[in-house]
Amino acid sequence: MTDKEYQHIMTERTASAPRAKKSLGQNFLQDKNISAKIVAALQIGPADCVIEIGPGPGALTDFIQKAAPASLWLLEKDTYWAGEHRRSDSRTPVEKQVVLTDALTFPWERLSDDRSWKLIGNLPYNVASPLMWDCLSLAAFSRAVFMIQKEVGDRIVAAPRSRQYGALSVWLQSHTVPRKELIVPPTVFKPRPKVDSAVLSFAPLPLSARNFSPGALSVLLKICFQQRRKQLQKILKRYWSDAVCGWFEQQGLPPAARPEELSPNQFQQLANLLESQLVS
């Protein structure tokens, strides 16, 4: 398919469609080469079961089908685009299932590890962070590729002691190895967003490397980064004990340290230490 043919197909699909809905954060990708690169980053194999979040007009869907996975699930909240995908005739032998649903409420924990699940999507900016927080920690997946706001992508891959480092950084780095794949300009979307986007890939960490209480870690991160400019001894005043003080000494951390000074592994250890208090 040439660039001109691709552009014609995308224009034809959106010509009679309702206008992009701001409430759903819809910005439809219109560039063939970028679409191909995003799908290539997912590394689809013949045994993979791919879940695409928010396919819209199908800029990524077409390339996913050409990669010939074992099956393809399309999670679409917009009734119009869900209907269009149900009516469309896939010219590949890929088993396709269209699910009219909000990905924020999808039961990600039900994806079992007896299949090779791979996740992909051009995520709406307004729900990308909570959606990734849930699906990348709950789902049993083998790889994920998401296009999100560049600023959010910078936060996800941020290192400790940096301005971008925060709860989302620690949470996703505790469950996955995130990698920035490419930057996408606003000019390739319709309508155009006001900022750059970033494509990130995520490889799940093995369960053996996730030796922490996710419930306790989630609570701890929210407590700490809601007051990120304060000292940890003040933030954690109600939880402070000789054991906590001893842990800080063991880690070489002063009680006056601030949240961004702790690594993901240190947050995990501290969450385990305080688990009975955080999730009681």
* pLDDT tens per residue across span 49-85: 999 999 988 899 999 999 999 999 999 998 988 998 8
pTM for the full model? 0.91
CA angle, residues 73, 180, 78, in degrees to nearest 5: 30
Which ranges in the chain are annotated with CATH 1.10.8.100? 214-278
CA 95 to chain centre: 24
Rounded to whole angstroms, the Cα distance separating 95 from 73 reads: 8
Rounded to whole angstroms, the Cα distance separating 183 from 37 reads: 11
CATH fold group of domain 214-278? Helicase, Ruva Protein; domain 3 (1.10.8)
* pLDDT tens per residue across span 222-263: 999 999 999 999 999 999 999 999 999 999 999 999 999 999
Residue 189 phi/psi, 5-degree rounding, is -115, 155
Rounded to whole angstroms, the Cα distance separating 148 from 123 reads: 6
* pLDDT tens per residue across span 145-161: 999 999 999 999 999 99
Q: Which CATH number, 3.20.20.70, 3.40.605.10, 3.40.50.150, 3.40.50.1220, labels domain 3-209? A: 3.40.50.150
Distances (CA, A) of 22 to 18, 106, 131: 12, 21, 18
Q: Are 166 and 112 in contact (CB under 8 A)?
A: no
Reference 92, options 43, 121, 58; nearest CA is 58
